[in-house]
Amino acid sequence: MASSLKFKIDNQFVNAPVGWEGLAINATFDGNNPQAIEINTDAFEFANEEAQTLINWIAGGQDGSTTGIFEGPKFSIIQEDENNSLNVFDGAVDLRDEFRIESPVSAFAKVFKGSGLTELDERAKAISYQLLYSEGLITDSDFLSVPYLTEPNRSLLETALLNLANFIMIEKLASEIRALSTDTTNVTANAASSATAAPAAAAQGVALTIIRLIYWGLLFTYIIIIANNLRKTLISPVKYHKAIKVKTLLERGFQKLGYQYNTSIQELNDLVYFPSKNSVDLNGLVDQILSDFIINQPGLGIPSAGDFGYTVSEMVELINTCCYAKVAVIDGRIEHHALISNFWTINSTFSVPDVLNEEIRYNADEHNARTLITFAQDESDIYTRQNYKGTAFEVIESAITVDNPQFQTLKGLDSVRIPVGLANRKNELNNTEKFLATLLGAIDELVEFIGFSSDQASEVTRRVGMLLFEKEMISTPRLMRLNNSNKLDANHRDKWSARYLYENFHVEKSFVGNNYAGQYRVFQDIKIPFGFSDLLKVLNNSYFTTNQGAQGKILSLQYQMDKDFAIATYRVQEIFTRNLKQTLIEP
């Protein structure tokens, strides 16, 4: 095997590193990650010309002839035989960590695979969405204009005064209508007896009625104006703020990192990120309200500097936390899928050979008796506390049969804290709006009776379904699923809440739910037949299916390049207890 391996630095064939035969490729998968979070080697010794190549590479960072110390040259290992040439390792020399020059002809460095997830995450931490906006990767056309309302709790006195004003206005209109009706009756009676009545009296009655009609018309016009001004001033105006789809944020972020993005998480198609708000435009606000202008508020639709999700790394972490998902880099593309998805298993190509292993271990130590999923609350918004349902969901897994409670070993808490808030919806009109809707509805009918069109009442009723805040400023961003009108559906908490996330994603780690999906048998430090072709399969996807059809996953792997085996720790799904039940709690 040794004679078939060749090495490249910066796409040029070079001499093999000193003592490479005893060095190992290490892959760490960190539990549930389908792809290795880190792929590296022990430190290589580069000698003579190869050492000088690395020294010159670093020096080139001063004059721009190379990318310098923070982006080392490409490093490849190729396995060749008479018929095939296989790239078994494509990465780069790490000139940043643990690199040292011992002499002009000797340098020590590790090499790493560029698609290692730890390296990807470190790069993603350095990219903010403000940077992407400034560079034009995110533009104003990517933003949604989301209507929202602010409604402080009204005092009883305010409501009483408004009701009194409405009563006086309606009563005045009713009394005028009664007076008009009386005058019309009198004029009709006078006209009927005009042959015997004095002409002056008849003329006086007609004139009085005409005056009354003019007055009534003016009063009616005045009432329409007052009603509209009441609508505009007594209820909060509809304002608009920019937001953005999470899928757009992820696509643009990975584009900056040099990758395409693919996901099977369907919720991302309508999942919207609404950033915190720390400013409001008050200039000319009264004039805008009275003129029915569209009131757009300042601020971008991307996460603010203080919001969780400000960087690409945090946005990935946010979705991974919500949807119990992971990412992998495959063929220059980011694959982002929930662990409950079958994407990982149907795309796995590695198969662990049958090995004799009499030791039996289970992952019972990974079990948590309590799982708690919570969204953040916004202390500046009372509605996040009043409408609490959906903010938290708790699952308790306990024994069905217990002989001695003191000997129970069920314990532990899996706390899933989601650092953004749930959105609140305006579900119904308040008392003020109901009065205005009734009044404007009556006016609409009168206007239409006269022969004109009017739909003032809808300006009130259309508010239902909009985003609702107590105040203009919000300190916690919101994550929500919006419909095509950029509103929240009446059942929006059924489609995005702590319970929804557990039942659709986090149930995968339950030792009870999803057919006891979280129970595994663990195989520790097992020696398995292994070659370079196997290495390529495992590094892309650590899931596999056994000959018996059970699902398994590699947890860690060490492969020595001059050997035909690897030392692996892996697990295989196996139910080892059914003496468990679930209790679901939604506060």
**Cα 555 to Cα 585: distance, rounded to the nearest angstrom:** 33
542's tokens: 């650590």
Question: What is the structure's pLDDT at 3?
Answer: 43
* Residues 166, 443: Cα–Cα separation, whole Å: 13
Q: How far is CA 339 from its chain centroid?
A: 17
Q: Which residue has the tokens 């008849």?
A: 202
Q: What pLDDT does residue 142 have?
A: 96
Question: What pTM did the predictor assign?
Answer: 0.77
Longest CA span, the chain: 133
pLDDT of residue 500: 98
Q: What 3-state DSSP class applies to 433?
A: helix
DSSP bridge pairs for 467? 148, 425
Q: What is the per-residue pLDDT for 289?
A: 47
Q: pLDDT digit of tens for each residue in the chain (587 aa)? A: 444 778 899 989 999 888 777 667 777 776 677 876 666 666 778 999 999 999 999 999 999 899 999 889 999 888 776 666 777 777 889 888 888 999 989 999 888 775 567 778 889 999 999 999 999 999 999 999 999 988 875 555 555 655 565 556 555 555 655 555 565 555 555 555 555 555 655 555 555 556 555 555 555 565 566 556 655 655 677 889 999 999 999 999 999 999 999 999 999 999 999 999 876 665 555 454 444 455 666 678 999 999 999 999 999 999 999 999 999 888 889 999 999 998 988 888 888 877 777 788 999 999 999 999 999 999 888 888 888 999 999 999 999 999 999 999 999 999 999 999 999 999 888 777 777 777 777 777 766 766 667 677 777 788 888 999 988 888 999 999 999 999 999 999 999 999 999 999 999 999 999 999 999 999 999 888 888 778 878 877 889 888 788 888 988 888 877 778 888 899 999 999 999 999 999 98
Q: Please say whether the beta carbons of 275 and 299 come within 8 A.
A: yes
CB atoms within 10 A of CB 576: 13
Strand partners, 242: 145
Evaluate whether 373 touches 418 at the Cβ level (below 8 Å): yes
Contact 143/242 with Cβ under 8 angstroms?
yes
- The packing angle between helices 246-257 and 117-125, to 10°, is 110
Supply φ then ψ for residue 254, to 5 degrees. -75, -25
For residue 49, how many C-alpha atoms fall within 13 Å in the half-sphere facing its CB? 7
Q: What is the pLDDT of residue 215?
A: 52
Strand order, beta sheet including 325-330? 260-263, 333-338, 325-330
Given this model, what pLDDT does residue 199 score? Answer: 60
Q: What are the tokens at 293? A: 């202008």
Could you count the other beta carbons within 10 Å of the beta carbon of residue 267?
20
User: How many CA atoms lie within 13 Å of 161's alpha carbon, on the beta-carbon side?
Assistant: 7
Q: What are 140's two structure tokens?
A: 């104003």
* CA angle at 440 for the pair 435 and 446, rounded to the nearest 5°: 135
231: enclosing H helix or E strand: helix 199-234
The whole-number pLDDT of residue 2 equals 42
The residues with which 27 forms a beta bridge, in sequence order, are 39, 557
Supply 289's token pair: 């309200």
Of residues 508, 265, 520, 317, the one with CA closest to residue 395: 508
Per 3-state DSSP, what percentage of the chain is helix, strand, and coil (rounded to 5)? 35, 30, 35
